[in-house]
A and B are shown apart, each in its own frame.
Chain A
Amino acid sequence: MEDVRCPMCGKPNPPDEEVCQFCQARLRPIEGFAFSDGDLYFDSSKEPGKELGRDVNTSTGPELPDWLKSFRQEDDAGIPSEEESLEASIQPGQESSQEEIFSEGVELPAWLHNLGEEAIIEESEIPGEESDNALQGVEELESSLEGSIPDWLSNMRHVEDPSAPDESLSTKQSLAGTDGEPEWLRGMRDSQEDGITAPPDEVKIPGIESDDSGDIFTQSEEEKELSGLPVGTPEGITDWLRQLEEVEGKTEKPEEAVADRSDDSEVPGWLMGAGDEFAEPEEISELEEAASPGEEIQEPKPEPIIPPQEEEIVPAWLSGLEASTELILEERAPEVTGEEEFSSLLEEKSLESETPPVKAEPLPDYFQGSVAPFTEEELELLGEEMPAWVENLPVSETVAGPLEEKIGEDGIERGELPGWLEAIRPSETEEATTSISMVEENARVESAGPLVGLRGVLPAEPEISRINKTSGYSVKLQIPEKQQARITALQELMKTEGKPKLVQDRLVISSQHILRILIFVGLSLTIIWTSFFGGENILLPAFPVEVFDASQAVNGIPSGAPVLLAVDYEPGFSAEMEAASTTVIDHLMLKGAYLTIVSTTPTGPALGERLVNLVNRRGNHYYQDSNQYINLGYIPGGLTGLLAFAEMPQRITPSSLTIDKNTGKQIRVWQDTQLKNLTRLADFSLVLVLTESPDTVRSWVEQVQPVLRQTPIVMVTSAQAEPLIRPYYEGRPQQIKGFVAGVAGGASYEKLTMRLGPAAKQWGAFSNGLLVAILIILVGGAINAIPGFIHPTKRGGEAKS
């Protein structure tokens, strides 16, 4: 390896030496922290323009010189906090607060104080796109610098930028009024003037390089932090350079300082970027021209990727210092204005962050000739000899060199970090991660849609719009055992639903059938036995009053008198009715009554004929049609027909059913028979109604009886109609003269008339059969009632079913 030349005395030293053997100056910059007294550091991986943390004021590095410690103490006393500074930068009209930073923090020299004011004003006034204002700010800044910048700085500028316009040159010349310029600076300047042409370089002061973020608020914040504070020193820079850099940072506009910090990941351009292809003279001249008044400031070109730089080709740092001052002033105005530049700056930032680390190589030749300004030991002595404005500089947050982080990652030995810096490492890591992810997101390029090619486009609901393959789900149900049992039961129920139910075969002979058969057999045998064997010996019933009245009514008609015989019973009741009425009709025939048969039922006329023939046979009568009796037939219309017949019998029944054998025509009843003298029903001697129905009785009583006047009505009814007939009989005046009800009534009537007939014959069978029926009801009722008394509930339920 080559020997390391001491930056102070210029003598060669072995490469493994840390300190110069001749002058005891440090041959290599202190690793571990960028600036000897930097409260702030800047991480290359961090989002540009964003601070990761602050120093711990209480912890002071062991290698910090006293004069830097004093800076920190002063910073603690007078410099507002970072957050306060940030708020002040965000809020409009906060120039006063920044002024306070300058005024209250330390007693700055007049030129620095004006410089700070101008920078703040320029920052707040310069919009992103108003380059005129930026130029104006530059002019004001330069004018303010006149007379306040030390001469040695002015000279440096003047020497390094001979091609600058006149105005800037005058400014530089005014700044170059150097009283107390160090010898080494003067020598460097002389050497450059002697022909050492500084290669055009995009000189960037470490720690204050351009911020890729372009956030004006962040820039102003960091600018405040940088103002009046020592600038972070990148690796490989000696302390005396840091001091010089610090001074440069103070003279720069605030936004310049902020912007320069964006590239803190790379090796400082002013030191290592010399000879770089980016620092070509054309570019610098263009920027200088753009910064000149009266000309439009062109938008800064995106910074290309910075390849690894070699220190051998790095131009004089001092020339770069002057150029960077001009250059950065020109770049700031458009940089803070255009938001579209943000993405490009980010890209540059990312690319620059990938820049290989700078190897600590020996200083170039042009630097060999320069005399190192100070050694560490001299710095302590220098602190006493420093100008007043340097001593009074407030210790502020400076941009820490992210270079150390970069170098550390690349395997270069790290320096010892002070305690206060180690303390803030964790937060640094988190912030770095966040910033990296943000940068990656911003670097995302849109691949579809109208925003194709743009970076940093917010994804349009990526999770929603993402088309995923439909996940498959199992269709198998998890059924508990209880539900499975229910399902099985339901399935079985459904299966049996379609099947025909097996109907149990009924027993051919059930208990009910037996009971019915027993009833039939008992009654039949009783009736048959009584009818054929000794039924006539049974005592006939006593004749009741109604029967007697009925016989008296029949007895009261004259011989051959017309009698209206209404046969209004059904053929089913013929047995009972014939047994009850035969004796009455026989009695009438005995009286020689002219029977006029009429009926309100369709079968009545036939029954009338049947009854007459029956009585003729039993009573030895010879009643013949149209001579002794006449059949008027059926009266339709029910009650209406009966009323009509009662009012006008001739019109309702004008002829009989009997056909005249001589003429072959129907007999005109009311002209050709014994009825020819009759005009109304009241002319009949007796009205005998044979019916089994209470309704028919009522109809005759209600419709016919009113028109009969004195003509009596006698009823021969079934036993079932007796209860309803009796009221008409028992009423006063009587609506019916008497009645004969059922077999018992007929038997009574026969007994009364002493003409035993069918009723008397049936009376024995009727009586015995009725007794058997009574026994059946009693026995059956008792059998069915006993279980009901024993199990009343069960029987009740059975009854409901």
Chain B
Amino acid sequence: MKLNLRAPISSSIAIAVGFLVLLGYFFDFGLLTALRRVFLQWAVILAAIAMMVGVANLFAVHWTKIKTWQAGSGYSLILLLSLLITLMVVGFFGPTGSWTLWLFNYIEVPIESSLMAILAIALAYASARLLRRRMNPFSAIFLFTALIVLLATVPILGIELPGLHGPDGIRSLITGIFTVAGARGILLGIVLGTVATALRIIMGIDRPYSE
């Protein structure tokens, strides 16, 4: 009879490690703390290796595209060239070298900032067409709230309107009550979800590490 020992072993390891780390939060024992820290170090190392593996996989995928002349292989070539150049520059000059920072300051930062500028234009355009695409009360409320917050963010022609700007303004009301309430609800939901997920993994119900 063929036994699949891989799943039980991996599940037992995951459950044991998670349980020890969790106990280390509640009990300040030296052994538990030491084990927890060892596991954390291993996790950091494994995450770094995983990132390196990810970079290698990215390189392989785009290399395959270039070899097979698939669609978009030109972009893959640019990506690989950029990767190799950056790797060589950073490897030769170090992560904080002048040429490394030059590449970063004059290539990467402007590119990403431009994308964010485009995002600003796209958001303005989408807000203008929001009622055309979805004409309902919730869309109207959403658009009205956004306009109020924007107007209250900056003074209108250098003038702050009472009831709109200031700590007692409508913006403070919206951001201090509605926004915080919503954000706390979201955060609580996230926390509960995280706890539930952790318990399921510790109990072996969820095995994201398995096949």
Binding site for B on A (CB under 8 A): 515-516, 519-520, 523, 537-539, 541-542, 544-545, 570-576, 602-603, 605-607, 609-610, 613, 625, 631, 633, 635-638, 640-641, 643-644, 647-648, 651-652, 657-659, 694, 698, 719, 722-724, 726-727, 730, 744, 763, 766-767, 770-771, 773-774, 776-781, 783-785, 787-788, 792, 795-796, 799
Contacts and interface: CB of A to CB of B under 8 A. Distances in A.
A698 B190 contact: yes
Nearest to B50: A636
Given A571-B108, A606-B95, A658-B96, A727 B143 contact: no
B167 interface: yes
B37 A651 contact: yes
Contact of A724 (B157, B166, B186): B186
A726 B179 contact: yes
A520 B158 CA distance: 23
13 contacts: A516-B121, A519-B124, A542-B165, A571-B111, A575-B116, A576-B116, A610-B101, A641-B43, A657-B95, A726-B179, A780-B127, A780-B129, A799-B133
B146 interface: yes
B94 interface: yes
Best-buried of A516, A519, A602 by chain B (most CB within 10 Å): A519
B85 interface: no
Interface stretch (B62-70, B76-84, B147-155): B147-155
Contacts of A657: 94-96
A658 B95 CA distance: 8
A777 B113 contact: no
A652 B128 CA distance: 48
Contacts of B111: 571
A658 B96 CA distance: 7
A722 B172 CA distance: 12
A602 B186 CA distance: 27
B105 A643 contact: no
B47 A637 contact: yes
A784 B131 contact: yes
Contact of B135 (A520, A544, A726, A792): A792
B150 to A, nearest CB: 5
A541 B151 CA distance: 12
B3 to A, nearest CB: 32
A520 B121 contact: yes
Interface residues of B, number: 64
A719 B149 CA distance: 11
A726 B40 contact: no
Contacts of B37: 644, 647-648, 651
B184 interface: yes
B135 A799 contact: yes
B40 A643 contact: yes
Given A575-B116, A631-B96, A635-B44, A784 B129 contact: yes
Nearest to B132: A784
Best-buried of A544, A636, A784, A795 by chain B (most CB within 10 Å): A636
A652 B41 CA distance: 7
B57 to A, nearest CB: 16
Contacts of A607: 104, 109
B115 interface: yes
A519 B121 contact: yes
Contacts of A792: 135
A785 B131 contact: yes
B40 A784 contact: no
A724 B184 CA distance: 7
Contacts of A779: 128
A504 to B, nearest CB: 22
Given A636-B48, A724-B187, A571 B124 contact: no
Interface in B137-190: 140, 143, 146-147, 150-151, 153-160, 165-167, 175-176, 179-180, 182-184, 186-187, 190
